[in-house]
Amino acid sequence: MRAGELAAVRGRLEEFVSEVFAPLVRRDQREKGLLYVRGLLLDGRRKSMQPMAERLGIDHQQLQQFMTSSTWPVEDVRARLAWRAVAAVRPEVWVVDDTGFPKDGTASPGVARQYSGTLGKVGNCQIGVSVHAASDTASCPLSWRLFLPAVWDGPDAEVRRRACRIPDTEHHRPKWQLALDMLDELDGNGLRPAVLVADTGYGANADFRHGLEDRGLAYVLQVKAEMTAHGEEAEPQRPAYGGLGPRPLPRYRTRPVSLREHVLAAGRQAGRTLTWRKGSKGAMSSHFVLLRVRLAGRRPKPAADGTIPLTWLIAQWPDGETEPVKYWISNLPADIPAKDLVRLEKTRWRIEHDYRELKTVLGLDHFEGRSFTGWHRHVTLVTAAHLFLTEQRRAPKAPARA
Helix axis angle, 10-20 to 74-89, nearest 10° = 120
The one-letter amino acid code at 5 reads E
Give 399's pLDDT tier (boundaries 50, 70, 90): very low
On average, the pLDDT of the chain sits at 92
pLDDT at 398 exceeding the cut of 50? no
CB proximity list for 370: less than 8 A, separation 6 or greater: 107, 108, 109, 163, 164
Give 402's pLDDT tier (boundaries 50, 70, 90): very low
The average pLDDT across 226-248 equals 82
**What are the tens digits of pLDDT across the range 252-285?**
888 999 999 999 999 999 999 999 988 777 889 9
The whole-number pLDDT of residue 236 equals 83
pLDDT at 106 exceeding the cut of 60? yes
Task: State how far the Cα of 73 lies from the Cα of 70, in Å rounded to an integer.
Answer: 10
**What are the tens digits of pLDDT across the range 47-71?**
999 999 999 999 999 999 999 889 8
Give 250's pLDDT tier (boundaries 50, 70, 90): confident
pLDDT at 318 exceeding the cut of 90? yes
CB proximity list for 335: less than 8 A, separation 6 or greater: none
pLDDT at 233 exceeding the cut of 70? yes
Q: Are 286 and 274 in contact (CB under 8 A)?
A: yes
Q: Which residues pair with 284 in a beta bridge?
A: 277
Angle at 50 between CA 100 and CA 364, to 5 degrees: 20
**What are the tens digits of pLDDT across the range 167-222?**
999 999 999 999 999 999 999 999 999 999 999 999 999 999 999 999 999 999 99
pLDDT at 296 exceeding the cut of 60? yes
**What are the tens digits of pLDDT across the range 78-98?**
999 999 999 999 999 999 999
Say how many C-beta atoms besides its own lie within 10 A of residue 70's C-beta.
16
**What are the tens digits of pLDDT across the range 144-171?**
999 999 999 989 899 999 999 999 999 9
The whole-number pLDDT of residue 215 equals 97
**What are the tens digits of pLDDT across the range 176-185?**
999 999 999 9
Q: Which residues pair with 286 in a beta bridge?
A: 274
Q: Which residues pair with 128 in a beta bridge?
A: 99, 146
Q: Are 333 and 312 in contact (CB under 8 A)?
A: no
Instruction: State the first-to-last Cα distance of the chain, in angstroms, to the nearest integer.
Output: 19
The whole-number pLDDT of residue 396 equals 59
Task: State how far the Cα of 325 lies from the Cα of 291, in Å rounded to an integer.
Answer: 16
Give 400's pLDDT tier (boundaries 50, 70, 90): very low
The average pLDDT across 379-387 equals 97
The whole-number pLDDT of residue 240 equals 73
The string of DSSP letters for 7-41 reads HHTHHHHHHHHHHHTTT--SHHHHHHHHHHHHHHH
pLDDT at 401 exceeding the cut of 70? no
The whole-number pLDDT of residue 299 equals 65
